[in-house]
Amino acid sequence: MNEYGAQADEADELAPGELHPPVPGGLVDTARKLRARHEAQAAEAAPPPPRPNRPVVVRQQGPDNFGARTITIAAGTSVLAMPADPGRVLAIVNLVTTAAAVLIARDRAAADTGTGYLLESAAPALPLTHTREVWLNNPGGSSIQVSVLTEGYTVA
């Protein structure tokens, strides 16, 4: 017998950290068997591997309204280039007249007072992606031409 009261050959059969073997049919033995049964059932009932996702074909729908026009603006005047449109997706403003400039503003008061963005003829066309109204003002001494292109959806 060793100091724990077990035979030397029995101590070799015990798991590390156990002083006494579990009694067959006892609480520890039953709990271990139950846990082993649950682990086996969980391994059998594991969810199937996920199926790979199939790609979905999506067709891009373009705007159904398209408009283009060229506006002539007399010297020192303001004009409404685009009214407010909730369906507008894109507007492009391009100054056609060379050696000139046009002031792009959010409303008539801003256009008349010179508050806005000054687009010069050397600059590339300006894309606008908002739906508010757009006013143009000619701050120069001679008339100018501005091209405006709009794309949008029909809003019911």
The reply to whether 105 and 33 lie within a common domain is no
The reply to whether 39 and 90 lie within a common domain is no
The reply to whether 32 and 70 lie within a common domain is no
Q: Is the pLDDT of residue 11 over 60?
A: no
The reply to whether 84 and 145 lie within a common domain is yes
The reply to whether 147 and 99 lie within a common domain is yes
- Residue 2 in domain: no
The reply to whether 82 and 140 lie within a common domain is yes
Q: Is the pLDDT of residue 10 over 90?
A: no
Residues in the chain: 156
Convert the pLDDT of each residue in 136-151 to its tens digit. Answer: 999 998 999 999 999 9
The reply to whether 140 and 89 lie within a common domain is yes
Look at the chain and report how many structural domains it folds into: 2
> How does strand 88-95 pair with strand 126-128?
antiparallel
- Residue 60 in domain: no
The reply to whether 19 and 73 lie within a common domain is no
Convert the pLDDT of each residue in 16-57 to its tens digit. Answer: 666 777 788 888 889 999 999 998 888 887 777 788 888 888
Q: Do 80 and 132 touch, CB atoms closer than 8 A?
A: no
Q: What backbone torsions phi and psi does residue 6 show, to the nearest 5 degrees?
A: -110, 155
The reply to whether 74 and 30 lie within a common domain is no
Convert the pLDDT of each residue in 124-136 to its tens digit. Answer: 999 999 999 999 9
Q: Which residues are CB-contacts of 155 (< 8 A; sequence separation ≥ 6)?
A: 85, 86, 87
Q: Is the pLDDT of residue 4 over 90?
A: no
- Residue 1 in domain: no
Longest dimension (CA), the chain: 118
Convert the pLDDT of each residue in 66-92 to its tens digit. Answer: 999 999 999 999 999 999 999 899 999
Say which CATH number the domain at 89 has.
2.60.120.10
The reply to whether 74 and 147 lie within a common domain is yes
pLDDT of residue 29: 87
The reply to whether 40 and 92 lie within a common domain is no
pLDDT of residue 17: 60
Convert the pLDDT of each residue in 93-128 to its tens digit. Answer: 999 998 899 999 999 999 999 999 999 988 999 999
pLDDT of residue 52: 85
- Residue 115 in domain: yes
DSSP characters for 76-141? T-EEEEE---TTEEEEEEEE-STT-EEEEESSHHHHHHT-SEEEETTSPPEEE---S-EEEE--SS
Tell me which residue range forms the domain holding 33.
8-44
Question: What is the C-alpha separation between 92 and 71, in angstroms, rounded?
Answer: 13
